Structure 1
């Protein structure tokens, strides 16, 4: 039966790389049966269809971006099989231009109104984020240090910030947080900055969170891709190192060397989920690998920020089987979800990556847990904004607050056990 939509799977073309996205539509698809969910899973393997969200639950809608040339065939296919759908954005190009204008306006206002390089009323560029880290290191030298952990493929500085309580003690346990593995997930970068702001500039209220624990935060894992989303292609996901003669970039969250390439990753260099020519083929993932390795034994909690979908996910991503210690991770994630629900009413779904969403091997969270022995490793998928990856600037503070609420609660659970 599924053969009848094979024509869609054979559509030619590279992964989405339009600059304007004029005429692109965003669809929500409501699946009611296992067959309908399987149909979407098959369709998601087509590089011309960009599935933003593909949860396993039949109750949860899937969201997909479709190019103008494919829309008639796509709708006819769904209609043929009686799959319910709705168009949530008739023209993504118009929406993205509105977002760009709004963000630029807010950035200019922030530059005039604050002494810092960033605010929480705009999404900031990579250079502004790095400048903010340096400003904090200069203002709070006893509690903050900033290092250039390495360079991106396009030679941008990738910086980490280490935050302590200033007591001078070494060898403490560490919480490691990163964001921006996927370039288009701007709210993840903003969430990491909000955490840094709270730990450093709101230290008096949060000093207990730094007792016996240092925090190492990498707010932009993939600066080349992030800059590309600001200057050229807003929905770009991957790194920017050439992957073949005609295509650029690797999905950095399929590039870690733990069950690399086994499932949920593409071998086709133009696909958004391209796993890379080899494990750790990207300088950005090599950098994260080395940072985590250097923390082996001290690292107690690895948290990676993504968007979107209101999920708190833990290993494994390569199999539906659960690690022996899965209850420890579940307890931590459930504490975070409960804290957000009590604070703002927002609901987060908790579970292993494969069982809640889909199988995807080569992720940083699996690697941090299984190889670098972080006992708690969690992927936080922040909420959608607009129709997916572009929250309004007015939503930054709310999502930052929710992220911070979640992290504080999860940190407390980690401290109780580790």
Structure 2
């Protein structure tokens, strides 16, 4: 049995802060820092654990010497932070000079695309002609419908509203009922339907694979990757042997936006970078005494809300933390709806993949404790190793695979019971309450993976288009490319499909 996924998009992982207001008199900057000694690393870890979130938001936490750390710094803290780096000899660069301007530009471009897509253009058109700095025509890609006409335009680096994504999926199902159908698994806190697509005829003898993205609101690249996988399935249904094999032998569900409320929140405030960097859901405010005051904040980290060793480690009981686990397991309508959906597939669910960004990691169970594995770890590890190796051959990428504690290797001495008001241990080396560990433990899903997509090209370019050779990569490798997880796939079919790559 073999399961592997190749993801090709730039991405952003950021920190979330509740409804803080932007200082219009200054600019938020993103520093890219590289600790080159253990002393520098420890100093940065200390700042990571103790700095006010309003001062310095760590997009990529300190982990090992010579690894890059991306930090968003507020206008009032910029001089102090810069002086700190110089005083202690850190190599650094300012990766984004004015984050507010980048946010505004990105959302402006996206809103234009959504106006186009909302009209659901289906007439055939010639080559795309858009004056976009740094993007050539060959890097422009569109989504197609059943006739080869354009349902809506998709440019690398543009991101669409949830309503546009849902309309697009419904149109695919309407026009291609023989291969696709809409799945509605429940509603979000704010009343949005959580929509996905099912590919393949659902018969009891077929194994099932489920893919989700966007459980963390800010991770737009994961959403983008999910949409490209849908596009690949649609466009390859008649001509691509691998897609035809999927449709014949498997049932595949994909949910490109599992956290629709949070995703929409990240898109709707052009003046506040912190809104773009929201991570959690948008559930009602909860309050807790944090040692200083009774602090109240909105939202729950949905990937800490599953009933796998809930609230045990690597999650916070404080609502203002971006890794707040919620009042109880499955307290949130989004995680509850998704878990109920997966429970209904128990016994047939062979593969589950959740897409995140951006660390080039291929993570398997379990993440709550180092050197703790599922009984079938050899199979799980073998598949991950093969996928990582293939990625390296194709693109020179350096993904790492392992359990969370093995490969994230955060050196923080974070103590869950004594979390300070401003500590933000996003990338602690162990965490519980995650969806893939829950699926592995509770549903016995054989291939359960968290994929952290590849980082930005030549620094942080998340606010610009990402069209570096994108057409070739995305159409070939923009989602789950090979799933061989049932005995009905003969060895010859597996080898024929694998040879495609």
Matched, 1:62 2:104: no
* Aligned partner (choices 196, 206, 213) of residue 160 of structure 1: 196
* Aligned partner (choices 243, 253, 274) of residue 285 of structure 2: 243
Offset at 1:238? Answer: 0.8
SS of the aligned residue for 1:237 comes to coil
Q: In structure 1, how many angstroms separate the alpha carbons of the residues matched to 2:23 and 2:453?
A: 25
Offset at 1:18? Answer: 4.2
Aligned pair in 2 of structure 1 residues 342, 264: CA closer, same or farther (>3 Å)? same
Offset at 1:208? Answer: 1.0
Does the 8 A contact of 2:208 with 2:348 survive in 1?
Answer: yes
Does the 8 A contact of 1:146 with 1:160 survive in 2?
Answer: yes
Number of residue pairs aligned between Structure 1 and Structure 2: 403
Q: In structure 2, how many angstroms separate the alpha carbons of the residues matched to 1:399 and 1:223?
A: 29
Q: In structure 2, how many angstroms separate the alpha carbons of the residues matched to 1:399 and 1:307?
A: 21
> Unaligned 5+ residue runs, structure 2?
1-15, 123-149, 270-274, 288-295, 409-428, 495-501
Offset at 1:229? Answer: 0.7
Q: In structure 1, how many angstroms separate the alpha carbons of the residues matched to 2:38 and 2:351?
A: 35
Does the 8 A contact of 2:18 with 2:298 survive in 1?
Answer: no
* Aligned partner (choices 170, 178, 182) of residue 146 of structure 1: 182
Indicate the residue corresponding to 1:30 in structure 2: 34
Q: In structure 1, how many angstroms separate the alpha carbons of the residues matched to 2:475 and 2:399?
A: 11
Q: Which has a greater percent of helix?
A: 1
Q: In structure 2, how many angstroms separate the alpha carbons of the residues matched to 1:372 and 1:55?
A: 34
Offset at 1:50? Answer: 2.1
Matched, 1:71 2:78: yes
* Aligned partner (choices 246, 250, 257) of residue 209 of structure 1: 246
Q: In structure 2, how many angstroms separate the alpha carbons of the residues matched to 1:342 and 1:171?
A: 35
Does the 8 A contact of 1:247 with 1:269 survive in 2?
Answer: yes
Offset at 1:277? Answer: 1.9
* Aligned partner (choices 99, 108, 112) of residue 101 of structure 1: 108
Indicate the residue corresponding to 2:261 in structure 1: 224
Indicate the residue corresponding to 1:361 in structure 2: 432
Larger radius of gyration: 2
Does the 8 A contact of 1:178 with 1:218 survive in 2?
Answer: yes
Offset at 1:365? Answer: 1.5
Does the 8 A contact of 1:191 with 1:403 survive in 2?
Answer: no
Does the 8 A contact of 1:15 with 1:270 survive in 2?
Answer: yes
Offset at 1:111? Answer: 5.7
Q: In structure 2, how many angstroms separate the alpha carbons of the residues matched to 1:137 and 1:406?
A: 19
Question: Pairwise mapping of residues 1-400 of structure 1 onto structure 2 (< 5 A)?
Answer: 15=18, 17-18=20-21, 23-45=27-49, 46=51, 48=53, 49-54=56-61, 56-108=63-115, 114-115=121-122, 117-121=151-155, 122-164=158-200, 166=201, 169-204=203-238, 205=240, 206-232=243-269, 233-244=275-286, 246-323=296-373, 324-357=375-408, 358-385=429-456, 387=460, 390=463, 392=465, 394=467, 397=470
Aligned pair in 2 of structure 1 residues 414, 388: CA closer, same or farther (>3 Å)? farther
Q: Which moved more, 1:397-406 or 1:32-41?
A: 397-406
* Aligned partner (choices 472, 477, 489) of residue 404 of structure 1: 477
RMSD: 3.0
Deviations along 1:270-323, one digit per CA (max 9) or x if unpaired, are: 121212122222111111211221122111111001111222222222222231
Q: Which moved more, 1:51-60 or 1:390-399?
A: 390-399
What is the TM-score with the length of structure 1 in the denominator?
Answer: 0.86
Offset at 1:207? Answer: 0.6
Offset at 1:355? Answer: 1.9
Deviations along 1:350-397, one digit per CA (max 9) or x if unpaired, are: 222222223222211211112221111111112334726545264694
Aligned pair in 2 of structure 1 residues 398, 319: CA closer, same or farther (>3 Å)? farther
SS of the aligned residue for 2:330 comes to coil
Offset at 1:155? Answer: 0.2
Q: Which moved more, 1:68-77 or 1:280-289?
A: 68-77
> Unaligned 5+ residue runs, structure 1?
1-12
Q: Which moved more, 1:123-132 or 1:136-145?
A: 136-145
Does the 8 A contact of 1:57 with 1:356 survive in 2?
Answer: no
Offset at 1:334? Answer: 2.4
SS of the aligned residue for 2:166 comes to helix
Aligned pair in 2 of structure 1 residues 279, 144: CA closer, same or farther (>3 Å)? same
What is the TM-score with the length of structure 2 in the denominator?
Answer: 0.73
